[in-house]
Each structure stands twice: as structure tokens, then as C-alpha cells.
Structure 1
Amino acid sequence: MRFIPITNHQSPMPPAISIKNLDHYFGTGSLRKQVLFDINLEIKSGEIIIMTGPSGSGKTTLLTLVGGLRSAQSGSLQILGQELCGANAKQLTQARRNNGYIFQAHNLHGSLTAIQNVRMGLEVQPKISASEMRSRSQAMLESVGLGERLNYYPDNLSGGQKQRVAIARALVSQPKIVLADEPTAALDKQSGRDVVEIMQKLAQEQGCTILLVTHDNRILDIADRIIYMEDGHLIKDSISAVPLER
């Protein structure tokens, strides 16, 4: 009997983030200044990528473009297969629904309790009942160790606890991509470590991709890859561990 091998014709999973020949400018006319130069980067689904480099190197600008917070101008920027270069406001809004955001200033609403702040992460999602919003928000706060502080206001939480609420808010909608900008900068060593380990654990459980900007060398070990930016150029990617040509 002759056995015929079975061939898997499924195409490989496309990258979560695909950036090609990306340039970006601020200002117009004589004030126009280029801030990103020929960025090429591919990030697979489920990867944890840390982006580091000096202040003013373009890290946050690149993060905001990936997050659909502003429209890319030149080159190609595909997020989950959707081209965002030249995207209009409606397309950017749609793209943002796939993302969770965590910032250095946790951006919690002081007039809302922890569970109300987390629930805000579900407000943009269609067809979720009020009871499901509450149960999912409570479960997420319990998963970051704040189950006993559901009804605490931000002023009654420590810096590390506030950032945990911000993480819960970012992840409660089970986003495909999490974007974090200096999430440990305002925290002490132990609180910072706790925060990134929670991010890492929950992201792995949900299978989402993390792109994290940081100057904090204490947390670099959580990354699958580290990319280094300088003066608007992507200089080094730890997957190759060699400088990239400028």
C-alpha cells in the first residue's frame, strides 16, 4: 500500500503588526520635521516586545501610530491585517477597538471606583449587557489581586494598585494587542516587577501581543525581543542582536 503524505496547505498566521518603510512627520511647511525614518518591523501574534532608547527617539510616536491614535502618513502600517497608513477617523476608531492601552500616568477617573474604571474598557464593545460588564470587570480585578478593593476610589489606592486597575481596564475586553507606554516609570522596583508580571501572565493567558515602551532596565527580561530606537531610527532588534543599517 502506498501512503501519500498529508500536506498542510494552511498559510502561516499573519503578523499582528507589520510595518514597512514607515516615515512620519510633525508640523507643516517650513516647520515640518521628520521624526520617524524608514521603520521596518514585524511582530508576531503573542509576542512581548519591549521598545527602548533615549527620550525623543520616536518610541511613543511609533506606539501611537500602531495604536491608531493618529494616522500613519507614509509607508505601510498593517495592524491585524488592516492598513492604517492614510486611514480615516472611522477606520482608526475601528482599529482601536482591538487594542488595550496602559500608560505611565494610569489615567484613572478619580470620581469612579476601581470596578467602574475597569468597566470603561468595555463601553466601546457592542452587545455586552450591564451585568456581564460588571462580572467581567470584577473577575479582571480579582485576577490582578484587587478583589477586595472593587469599590475603592483611586485616591485610596497606592501607585502600584492604580496601575493594576489600569492593566485590568486594558485587558478586560480581551484585546488582541496591548500597548504600554512606560507603565512602571512611577513605581518602585517591587511594584514595577509585580505590574509587568501581571501583564505578562494575563497576556499569555489571553494570547495577545504586547508592545511596551520603557526606560526601565529592570523589566527587560520579560520580553521575547527588545528593539532599540535612536533619533527616529530603528537601530537594533534583539532577534538578530546586530545593529540595523541606517
Structure 2
Amino acid sequence: MAMADFIVSIRNLNHYFGKQILKSQILFDINFNIKCGEIVAMAGPSGSGKTTLLSLIGGLRSVQKGSLKLFNQELYGANNEELVQVRRHIGYILQSHNLLNFLTAWQNVQISLELDNNIPQWEARRKAEAMLDAVKLGNRVNYYPSELSGGQKQRVAIARALVSHPKLILADEPTAALDSKSGRDIVNLMQLLAREQNCAILMVTHDNRILDISDRIVHIEDGRLVK
């Protein structure tokens, strides 16, 4: 398969925390690809480097050593403006959902569209409400986070991540704060909507009950991918 066929292509990626005598290596020679439309689960113990790798792929940290191509654009040596452009094609779903408590559900979702100056306010609201309807929260568009359950908040987070039709979804422990049924509903919903939009998903999880939705499972231990 040609390199251009991969939405994520990583070669010999290494990462370090700290400097000089306190410098510690976190990731070791990571080689990893994700295809368009693929759902990949990343599993491993706490402290193994999963979230660090996710943040590098998401353009939230600078690549220190090695090659990391996202949408065929090299991120090693990329400046802040280039990283911002890349992040516009990524949807993020985090464990804590990170909703703004002073905004309603539709306003939280609409935030993702405000980076695109070509979308008028009325259309952004229409798209936000349509995406909330897709995650079965059409009757909760005017609710504030404090009025929603944990599962409903995570549905809002999914709607926010998908409303701009990203090429890649990065999910960090998306079911960690949910009971088993709510967690299962959330990942099924992620899978359905991602398939409809043909975007890839990289999901970091400790939850073995949801691994079966993935096309592939990769394991990371002590900063190394293991077979």
C-alpha cells in the first residue's frame, strides 16, 4: 500500500520528557499506520505512552524525533500555524468530555464549526442541531451540561467531534466514566457515525468490553508497540 493511502503514517518516532539529566524517553521507535475509514483500538497499561502518542498524532505536541505524517503532511518540524491547520481535520473525544458548562448542548457542538469562517451562524446552528439529533439528543439541544447524564454529555462530545466531518477521530478513554451499557452505546454510536462519514478512529482504551468494534488492536507497553 502506498504511503499516500494512509491517513496516519509514523516511522521511527521517539519522544522524551524533561531535559539534560532529567531527560526520560517515553516512546521508542514507533512505527504505525492508520488507513482511511479504519477503526483502531490502542490498549496498554497506565503509563505506557498511549496518551502521549495520541497527543502527538493529534498535533497537540511537537514531534521531536522521527517522522509523523498526518493526511500526507509531515509534522516533524511543523510550525504552530501548520499544526493548527492539521488539527482542523481532527475530532477529539476525551474521557472528561470537556463541555463548557455555560453553553447549551447545541452551542457546545457549534464551537467546532466556528473555526470555519465560511459557515454562517444560522447554518452552523442547523448543523449542530442535526448532529445532536443524529446522536439521539434532538430533544436536548437547549439543555446545559449540568442537566445531562454522563452518557448524554459524552454524546454531545461525539456530536462536537463529528460535526465538522473530520478525517480522523482521536478518542482517549471515551467510556472510562460510563457504566457498561452507556459505554457500549457510546462506542456503537462512534462506529456508526464514523462509518457514515468515512473517517478513521484511533481509540485509546482500557475497556476490553468494547475492543470488538475495532478493525485492529495495537498494544503498547513501556513506550513500545508490541505484537
**Interval of TM-score (by shorter of Structure 1 and Structure 2):** over 0.9
Residue 56 (1) aligns with residue 42 (2): no
Residue 226 (1) aligns with residue 220 (2): no
Greater share of residues in helix: 2
Segments of 5+ residues of structure 2 without an aligned counterpart are: none
Deviation at 1:48, TM superposition (A): 0.2
Larger Rg: 1
* SS of residue in 2 equivalent to 1:124: coil
Aligned position for 2:200: 209
Aligned position for 2:174: 183
Residue 65 (1) aligns with residue 48 (2): no
Deviation at 1:137, TM superposition (A): 0.3
Distance 1:67 1:41 in 2: 14
Letter in 1 for 2:75: L
Aligned position for 2:75: 84
Aligned position for 1:101: 92
Deviation at 1:125, TM superposition (A): 1.9
Letter in 2 for 1:171: L
Distance 1:101 1:216 in 2: 18
* SS of residue in 1 equivalent to 2:12: strand
Selected match of 1:130 from 118, 121, 127: 121
Aligned position for 1:165: 156
Selected match of 1:21 from 12, 17, 26: 12
* 8 Å CA contact retained: 2:3, 2:9: no
Distance 2:116 2:163 in 1: 11
When normalised by structure 1's length, the TM-score is: 0.90
Aligned position for 1:244: none
Deviations 1:101-152 (A, max 9, x none): 0000000000000000000111112311101100100000000000000000
Distance 1:99 1:151 in 2: 26
Distance 1:73 1:12 in 2: 21
When normalised by structure 2's length, the TM-score is: 0.98
Deviation at 1:86, TM superposition (A): 2.1
Deviation at 1:224, TM superposition (A): 0.2
Distance 1:137 1:16 in 2: 26
Higher RCO (Cα < 8 Å, 6 or more apart): 2
Aligned position for 1:196: 187
RMSD: 1.0
* SS of residue in 2 equivalent to 1:51: strand
- 4+ aligned runs moved over 6 Å, structure 1: none
* SS of residue in 2 equivalent to 1:20: strand
Distance 1:124 1:220 in 2: 33
Letter in 2 for 1:188: D
Give the 3 Å change call, closer, same or farther, for CA 78–160 of structure 1 in structure 2. Answer: same
Deviations 1:1-58 (A, max 9, x none): xxxxxxxxxx785200000000000111111110000000011111000000000000
